Amino acid sequence: MGDVLLCTPAVRAARSAFPDAWIEFLTDPVGADALTGNPHLDEIVVYRRGARHEWPLLREVRKRRYDIVADFHSVPRTARVVLATGAPRRVGIRGRGPRNLAYTDLVPKVRESVYIPRHKLGVLRPLGVNTGSIVDLTLEIVVGPAEREFADEFWRKHGLDDSQPVMAVSPVSHEARKQWGAERWAAVADGLVNAGARVLITSGPGEREQAAAVAERMRAAAVWDYGRTTVRELAALYQRCVLWVGNDGGPKHVAAAAGVPTLTVIRYPLGPIWTDGTAIVPHRYVQRSPAGVTEDVLMTPQLEALSLQAVQPGEVAQAAIAMLRDRLASA
């Protein structure tokens, strides 16, 4: 979900560079939901995992006779699909091992702390796209009338009132290394309520228990137990919120694409890589270097975990409340 939305600036650039081209995007069902209605795409091809789905897909992409294939992911699984297309131009990101053989053009993997959509744009460079001149890295998601109606009904059903600011809190993640902890998120959420906001705790499939753990630890009440949503319904809910606060992950990028300011608790030093610091809508992060670690030290998963635990609830709540006040002042 998040990775697909981070590709949308490159999709927009491809359409601008090739206005008369037929452009398709291959992704899984969740990614397809996130891209539905994207004005720069002619078709979304759905990829389903598993051998019984892969072989028919490989035959299908071969039949489509693409002129160009750009692989924004460039991992062994996607390299197989790229090679199967037989396209004359196949662009990918240089990796390790035989997967590089799937591509006719390879771009170097970016090592600098650059916002990920800028990395994705680099895949288009061998095709003559002047990516260096592109300033706008805004993510895109299309929220239609059905999704807005869903959000309106959600607000009515859960007693949310536009006269009181609603702040989305996403304390969940499928990846344990990205989880900051229920106790910490409960403290932040209570701080937001004390500042005069209502809190909407959002979660996805398999994350309900994490959301419940935060709600149970809060002193104040929060809206959290509401069932499943589509990606675009989630975006519609976020559009009704004044701010999104949460762990690093896909929901953060949904909120950014929905045009909502975000504040992310993230492992050091990944903040600039996953956050658009140049956007008109403010997107900020809180990260801390582990004690005693200097900038030249190679970060390991263990050090990244320590860096996440070094972030304190008070500083996150303070940053969120400051963003809330700025948002209300500019409304």
Average pLDDT over residues 229-245: 97
Asked if 92 and 178 sit in the same domain, the reply is no
Domain boundary among 133, 162, 197: 133
Residue 52 has a pLDDT of: 85
Query: 131 burial class (0-12, 13-18, 19+ CB within 10 angstroms)?
Result: middle
Asked if 80 and 217 sit in the same domain, the reply is no
Query: 204 burial class (0-12, 13-18, 19+ CB within 10 angstroms)?
Result: buried
How many Å apart are CA 30 and CA 308, to the nearest integer?
28
On average, the pLDDT of the chain sits at 94
Would you say residue 103 lies in a domain? yes
Say if residue 295's pLDDT is above 80.
no
Asked if 249 and 313 sit in the same domain, the reply is yes
Say if residue 270's pLDDT is above 70.
yes
Average pLDDT over residues 159-168: 92
Asked if 37 and 101 sit in the same domain, the reply is yes
Would you say residue 260 lies in a domain? yes
Residues 254 and 141: beta-carbon distance below 8 Å: yes
The helix/strand/coil state of 133 is: helix
Average pLDDT over residues 8-19: 98
The helix/strand/coil state of 199 is: strand
Say if residue 293's pLDDT is above 90.
no
Asked if 86 and 26 sit in the same domain, the reply is yes
How many Å apart are CA 164 and CA 178, to the nearest integer?
30
* CATH code for the domain in which residue 172 is found: 3.40.50.2000
Residues 165 and 192: beta-carbon distance below 8 Å: no
Q: What is the DSSP letter of 109?
A: P
CA 238 to chain centre: 13
C-alpha angle 285-323-154 in degrees, rounded to nearest 5: 95
Asked if 105 and 246 sit in the same domain, the reply is no
Beta bridge partner(s), residue 70: 91
Say if residue 49's pLDDT is above 90.
no
Domain boundary among 108, 133, 158: 133
Length of the chain in terms of residues written:
331
Would you say residue 177 lies in a domain? yes
Would you say residue 155 lies in a domain? yes
Residue 313 has a pLDDT of: 97
Asked if 236 and 92 sit in the same domain, the reply is no
Residue 253 has a pLDDT of: 98
Residues 139 and 235: beta-carbon distance below 8 Å: no
Percent of the chain with pLDDT over 90: 86
Would you say residue 158 lies in a domain? yes
Instruction: For residue 296, name the pLDDT band (cuts at 50, 70, 90).
Output: low
Residue 275 has a pLDDT of: 96
Q: Which one is predicted more confidently, 170 or 300?
A: 170
Would you say residue 248 lies in a domain? yes
Average pLDDT over residues 38-60: 93
| 114-131 pLDDT, tens digit each | 999 999 999 999 999 999
Domain boundary among 133, 158, 180: 133
Looking at the structure of the chain, the number of domains it has is 2
Asked if 193 and 269 sit in the same domain, the reply is yes
Asked if 63 and 179 sit in the same domain, the reply is no
Range from 63-77, 134-148, 243-257, 292-306 carrying the lowest mean pLDDT: 292-306
Asked if 105 and 221 sit in the same domain, the reply is no
Asked if 175 and 68 sit in the same domain, the reply is no
Would you say residue 140 lies in a domain? no
Average pLDDT over residues 164-180: 94
pTM of the model: 0.95
Percent of the chain with pLDDT over 70: 99
Residue 51 has a pLDDT of: 80
Asked if 127 and 234 sit in the same domain, the reply is no
Would you say residue 139 lies in a domain? no
Sign of the C-alpha dihedral, residues 257, 260, 261, 262?
negative
Which residues, including other chains, have CB under 8 Å from residue 86's CB and lie 6 or more apart?
62, 65
- 84: tokens are 């199967």
Range from 60-69, 197-206, 233-242, 291-300 carrying the lowest mean pLDDT: 291-300
Full domain range(s) for residue 88: 2-133
| 222-234 pLDDT, tens digit each | 999 999 999 999 9
Average pLDDT over residues 162-182: 93
